[in-house]
Structure 1
């Protein structure tokens, strides 16, 4: 049984994966919470506990490019899970991401 400390919101948001400030891959956020995200990607050059950055823009909420740092906590053939805990982040960027995913998930389910 899986135990999560915060609810995950499913969605699809394109991202760039950065390592040490350099773009190294692309993918999309498949689900997110205030504690972390799962990134669907073909990029696999990550290891557990490694810190990486995600770059994204939240449509309709901000025109600004957002960047979040996170630690790799899980790897799979489809991507990797990231945890924000212990990484310095702009909480407004996390909030904007969650709000956008939440609004767009409901719109997709309702319509």
Structure 2
């Protein structure tokens, strides 16, 4: 049985995964909470406890500004990666904006298409 410390919000939003500021993969946020999120991706060149930068934008917003969060890799699977926001510095407003956007846009398409690694 899984025990979560915060409620997850399901949704779909394209995300760019970066290591040390360089884009390395695309994926799709599938669920998020105040404490972390799960990214569906076939990218697997990550280690547990590695910090990743996550870049995303809200497709329906007037502004075309991308937002960034940092996440600590806490889970890897063949379907994607789970990242935790604890222990890394993030803007809580950006996290809350992401969760609210996911709540309002359950059927949205990704900004970055998920691509298979070559």
**Cα displacement (A) at 1:63:** 2.8
**TM-score, length basis structure 1:** 0.91
Aligned to 1:45: 45
User: 2-side partners of 1:63 and 1:6: how far apart?
Assistant: 30
Provide the aligned length of Structure 1 versus Structure 2: 106
Higher helix share: 1
Work out whether 1:25 is the aligned partner of 2:33: no
Structure 1: gaps of 5 or more residues = none
Q: Structure 2: give runs of 5+ residues left out of the alignment.
A: 108-118
Q: Does 1:3 align with 2:10?
A: no
Q: Deviations over 1:34-91 (max 9, x none)?
A: 1000000011100100000100002334532001001000000010100000111111
Are the equivalent residues in 2 in contact too, given 1:58–1:96 (CA < 8 A)? no
Q: Distance in 1 between matches of 2:104 and 2:95?
A: 14
Supply the RMSD in Å over aligned alpha carbons. 1.1
What TM-score, normalized to structure 2? Answer: 0.85
